[in-house]
Chains A and B, each alone.
Chain A
Amino acid sequence: MEKRNEVLRTRILIVPFIVVFCILGTVVFFISKKISREMSESAINNLSESLDLISNTIEVILKKEVEFQKLLSQEIAGLEKPEDFVLSYDRNDTMVKISLILSGETTGISNTGEVFAEKDLDFSWGKTVEDLPLSKSYVNSMGTWAYTIKCPVIRNKEEIATLYIEYIYDSFEEALPSQFYNKEAKLYLMDVDSERLVLKPKGIGERDAGHISLEDFYNANKILEGSVQENVAKNIKDGKDVMFYHDIQNEDSLIYMWSVNKGTEYMIGYVPVRAIQREGNAVNQNIMIVVIVMMVTFSACCAFYLFFEKQNDKIRKDRESERELYNKQLKEALQAAQIANNSKTTFLANMSHDIRTPMNAILGFATLLARDVSNPEQVREYTKKITASGQHLLGLINDVLDISKIESGKVVLTIGEFALKDMISSIDAIIRPAAKTKNQNFDITVTGIKHENLIGDETRLNQILINLLSNAVKYTQEGGDIWLRIIGLKQRSSQYEHIRIEVEDNGYGMTPEYLETIFDAFTRAENSTTNKVQGTGLGMAITKNIVELMGGTIEVTSEVNIGSRFVVELEFRIPDVKVDGQFWKQRGISRILVVDDEEDNRESVRLLMEDMGICVDLACDGEEALRLRKSAYEAGEDYHVILLDWKMPGMNGVETARLLSKVAPEHILTLLLTAYDWDGIQEEAVQAGIDGFLPKPFFVSAFKEKILELLEEQEMEKDSEADAEEGCMEGRHFLVVEDNEINSEILSEILRIEGASCEVAENGQLAVEHFSQAQPGSFDAILMDVQMPVMNGYEASRAIRALDREDAGQIPIIAMTANAFAEDVKDAIDAGMNAHIAKPIDTELLKRTIKQYLE
């Protein structure tokens, strides 16, 4: 519709242009025509004037000839012997022959000496020049066209003789224009009586030179119409000028026949109309050029106008669409804001519920605790529940703080080297118990990973995995399955390990609608007030933000009642480490046998171990393992270590181990690879000859550690960490810097329970004073809060480190703060502190940290 309107508008615009063009064209046509006509008339007038002028010139020559002849006759009249005068006269270019016949005689003499008789000439036609008789034209004795004028010689009023003078037409040649219309016009002189052409243009070829008469002129130029010839003849007879149009050699021409000396001679010829209208044509051409330029300019203006009109239209439309877009965006923003508002309202409602629930538990159990203080069993139960609720509350607070931090763009990744093995181990330690409580199978596979140690933010990676896995546990029914797959992808760069992490479950799954908003903050699969599953709804948003912060991608696929699958792809820098081939060499390990029914697992081990320079043989089941061991033993190339998968179809790992020991008498180090707890089968396995258990997934570092552990088991009797940790606080004296009285009290109590003592300073300033005033060595460490009035922990630490005393630079300062983010840790270190412990205080962590620094 709009297009049709546009076409209509263009047409409406074009119509006036066409009308203007037509008017302009018509006006120019008529002006041009008028000019052409006027110029043509003017050209014909010019031609007529030129012919008149030539005719007059010839007539003047004739008159002069007559005047001269009269003078001669007068002179002769005065002579006694006129014949002598005649004989003495030499011919010139004009008068070629003078003859004299005395009155009464029939013959006379000529200047050539010949006898002259008038009968040789023809004066019968009665034509004259200035009243003197003129002969008809003839070819004279010089072979050229001539005429004779006779003049009486009168003495004393008596005619004594007649003077005849012969003139040649060639003498008129000088009077004719040599460049008549640029040589395009032809001009002949015709004797009227004989119609012979007595003077012709000298030229080459028959067209110009070949005509000898009017008849030839007609024939040569195809002027054959009887009426035209008759008309010409009539006019010539009357001595009138004639001019008419006729085609000559296919060109429109003007033919002229111009009377000379009252029609005794005629100038005849023709000129192409083009030649006489040259100026007119030039004017017309110039007019046409001007008109064309005007039209081009006009067209260009119209085109520009249309173009700009179109451009304006386009701009207007663009603006309209832009406005529409803005409106749409505004609408969307409004909707988003409303949704966000609704989400936040829902979130607040959820949070209110989620915070109140544990808080209610804490307060409730605190009340119960106060009541049942005398019953230690109950007290332990209550405090356990209070701790659980507190932990949950802490989780909620951490999530809320995390998401707000991420959203405000304040998150900084803490990049460091980490071992994938450790990370997976810690994840396993967290998730497996949770899964176990719901009787869920939790399976971890690692394949295709070439580098176990990577550089990245381990904490954040942990957070991603825990978020995804804890969700999987949460949203999978009891007895369901959960898979964690860590897959090494093809490296895009040799410096980066490209990893895909897949977390899959066969749990409740998600609706397509929910999938669209899963990564948005403040959303949850079900309203938590009506669902038994609890959470802030921030987990996925945090996860996605962290993944993106790490330069990775996260995708999710899910179907209700089928399950969900999260796929995270990340790249981690590979640290510059040398392959530690010496470890294996030193311990005499160069050949191992891997027995696993999963090909991916076998290949993963082979890939990793071959990089270490170890020869790896693979067996897909127990039978093949036995065969390989046997042939290796017999060949004298027995294996140094055997890795056995526990659960295999047919013969399991333990049975295989048992039979392996029978294949060859020598015992070789045999490890059972399993993702399951070792505890249930440990005894059976040991009996079967298995030396130890290696958790799945396989990591070289874990393998190395296990080898070391087993090899040095006998020699290395270490005290348990717990033992070591215990007593490390005994007798220690600390400076506790804490503005919050409750917190300082709790800390003091914890320290007291551990056998340590402390002094408390309420702010940084007081802490600096305490420390500076105390004897060197009075304090073993300073436990420093960060956010405090007067002077904060960072400033206090810097002031202490700046003190001029020996122990100022050495005393361990441990930050204890609710500022639990990575950058807070960094800030603490930068301020000169040694370590950072997040509040609320984990007693075990505190003890470990203190021990580390006191040692």
Chain B
Amino acid sequence: MKNEEKKKQTVVLFAPMERTKADAKNVARTAFDKTIIMAEEKLDVTVEYNTYTAKDYQEKSYDDVALERIQNDMDDFYLLNPDVLQKMGEKGKLADLSGLDCVKNLREVVKTANTVNGMLVGIPQEVVVYGLFVNKDMFDKYKIDLPNTPEEFLECCKIFKENGIETPIGANRWWLETFVFAQAYADLYNGDNTATEIEELNSGKRKYSDYMRKGFEYLKKLIDLGYIDAKTAYTYEAIDGEGADFLAQKTPIVMAYWGAANAETAYGNPDFNMQVIGFPSDRGQMPVMSMTGVSALANSEHLEDTLNVLEVILSDEALQVYSETNKVISPSKNVEVDCIPALKPLNDLVNEGTYVLASNAGMKVEQWGNTCLIVRELLNGASVDECMAKFDKLQEE
């Protein structure tokens, strides 16, 4: 028995783990686990699972640790946020996945967002769409319509504030950037010159700061008006921090990814009528799309086995199971599932092709991670100009 087990190939995965309500059933993890089990059964391999979660903001973040582990060739494959993916892709630490059979099923936008230097370095299991999670009951209570534009949104917050809700927007240190992306790239991704504009950004003809300024200024306004508590937001982990107040109906608005509406560990079972809508922009509600991709270590000792595992967990069959379990948008054009009613407004927008990308490996300046860090500086008291200077610096580098 032992000999058999020794013979069995082991592939090591490094992935994040939500630690809130440790005993609860985690839908996202269960969906991912289902696909891993498919791979283990089909390939007769064992997938070992390594994880890290920071206890607080002072500790190294998952992304930090993931970077270090990739650089030290610690694991065989990873679940990576777009910034890490882009950084490691550029360093050539991640394997090119374009040879996998499953690639032909992927939506073009997915391939575009994960291609670095012509190499497909990550494939997501779901297209992560961020939106505003609103307590519709509270909106109704104060007779407020759901906002479309930045002005409308400010008006909403004002009414809530006037009605004694001290901080209408619950925020954490990770996801406030979605406000910025919605305003910054609404025209770029929904206009006619997307490719040209990105090319000009990459060549330096255009400045990221020009796009970002609007978003940062708006965010600054929200902070200054007290609609966002910058202090707490700077220290809060995603959902872990702001989630409790939202579920307790103390906060009418939070931002989160699509899957949080389905996960018991997040906002899967609220006591109120919850709706998920797009972020305010001049073009109306705007979903923000990001992707947490699965990447393989290029130097892995078990690269072949790892690629085989990826082939299985990213196949249409596995993505169907994943999407059905999590009720999310699949990266495969062949997989479609129904969404829950709360997600319908967001889903409709995505289906119409209205969204902005929060990560794009095609852009030379990594977006998701950098913007996140600069937003944190804003939270920490930096001015919008200082923040823009950071973007300019990054672009110059």
Contact = CB atoms under 8 A, between A and B. Distances in A.
Contact of A210 (B19, B36, B37, B59): B19
B49 interface: yes
A213 B52 CA distance: 11
A95 to B, nearest CB: 14
Contacts of B12: 202
Nearest to B48: A202
Contacts of A196: 55
A250 to B, nearest CB: 12
A143 B19 contact: no
B52 A143 contact: yes
B3 interface: no
B18 interface: yes
Interface stretch (A29-37, A216-224, A513-521, A769-777): A216-224
- Output the residue of B12, B17, B18, B67 with the most chain A CB within 10 A: B17
Contacts of A210: 17-19, 22, 26, 29, 51, 53
Contacts of A219: 21-23
B317 interface: no
Interface string A207-245: 111111100100111100000000000000000000000
Contacts of A221: 23
Interface stretch (B68-76, B138-146, B150-158, B198-206): B68-76
Contacts of A144: 69, 74
B17 A206 contact: yes
Interface in A103-141: 139-141
B52 A139 contact: yes
Given A143-B74, A203-B49, A206-B26, A213 B18 contact: no
B49 A216 contact: no
Given A143-B52, A196-B55, A212-B53, A206 B72 contact: no
A142 interface: yes
Contacts of B44: none
Contacts of A143: 52, 60, 64-69, 72, 74
Contact of B69 (A142, A202, A209): A142
Nearest to A140: B68
A205 B15 CA distance: 10
B334 interface: no
B47 interface: yes
Contacts of A216: 19, 22
- Output the residue of A141, A210, A220 with the most chain B CB within 10 A: A210
Contacts of A202: 12, 48-50
A204 B53 contact: no
B162 to A, nearest CB: 39
Interface residues of A, number: 27
B33 interface: yes
Nearest to A212: B53
Contacts of A205: 29-30, 33, 49
Contacts of B52: 139, 143, 212
Contacts of B21: 219
A209 B37 CA distance: 16
Interface residues of B, number: 33
- Output the residue of A196, A204, A213 with the most chain B CB within 10 A: A204
A216 B12 CA distance: 23
Contact of B36 (A200, A204, A212, A213): A204
A435 to B, nearest CB: 115
Interface string A275-313: 000000000000000000000000000000000000000
B48 to A, nearest CB: 4
Contacts of B72: 141-143
Main SS at interface, chain A = loop
A222 B51 CA distance: 22
A200 B49 CA distance: 10
Given A142-B69, A143-B68, A212-B53, A204 B47 contact: yes
A220 B12 CA distance: 24
Interface string B30-59: 100100110000000001111111010001
B267 to A, nearest CB: 18
Given A196-B55, A216-B19, A142 B49 contact: no
Contacts of B48: 202-203
Contacts of A204: 33, 36-37, 47, 49
Contacts of A141: 68, 72
Nearest to B40: A204
A405 to B, nearest CB: 99
Contact of B22 (A139, A142, A203, A211): A211
A851 B64 CA distance: 155
Nearest to B25: A206
B9 to A, nearest CB: 14
Interface in A78-122: none
A219 B72 CA distance: 33
Given A202-B48, A204-B36, A213-B55, A142 B19 contact: no
A209 B51 CA distance: 6
A823 B184 CA distance: 144
A220 B65 contact: no
Nearest to A194: B55
A208 B48 CA distance: 11
Contacts of B33: 204-205
Contacts of A206: 17-18, 22, 26, 29
A220 B74 contact: no
B49 A209 contact: yes
Contacts of B50: 202, 209
Nearest to A96: B72
B85 to A, nearest CB: 16
A808 to B, nearest CB: 116
A210 B20 CA distance: 10
Contacts of A203: 48-49
A222 B19 CA distance: 14
B56 to A, nearest CB: 11
A640 B19 CA distance: 132
Contacts of B23: 219-222
A212 B53 CA distance: 7
B31 to A, nearest CB: 12
A596 to B, nearest CB: 107
A142 B55 contact: no
- Output the residue of A194, A206, A212 with the most chain B CB within 10 A: A206
Contacts of B36: 204
A500 B2 CA distance: 100
A181 to B, nearest CB: 15
A140 B59 CA distance: 11
Contacts of B51: 200, 209-210, 212
B143 to A, nearest CB: 40
A203 B49 CA distance: 5
A196 B18 CA distance: 15
Contact of B60 (A139, A209, A211, A213): A139
A139 B65 contact: yes
Contacts of B59: 139
Interface string B174-188: 000000000000000
A220 B22 contact: yes
Interface in A464-519: none
A268 to B, nearest CB: 14
A4 B55 CA distance: 82
25 contacts: A139-B52, A141-B68, A141-B72, A142-B68, A142-B69, A142-B74, A143-B64, A143-B69, A144-B74, A179-B2, A194-B55, A196-B55, A204-B33, A206-B18, A208-B49, A209-B50, A210-B17, A210-B18, A210-B29, A212-B19, A212-B51, A212-B52, A216-B19, A219-B21, A220-B22
Given A204-B33, A210-B19, A222-B23, 4 more contacts: A143-B64, A204-B37, A206-B18, A206-B22
Interface of B: 2, 12, 17-19, 21-23, 26, 29-30, 33, 36-37, 47-53, 55, 59-60, 64-69, 71-72, 74
Give me the 10 closest cross-chain CB pairs, A-B, nearest first. A143-B68, A220-B22, A143-B69, A143-B65, A202-B48, A142-B72, A210-B17, A209-B49, A209-B51, A219-B22
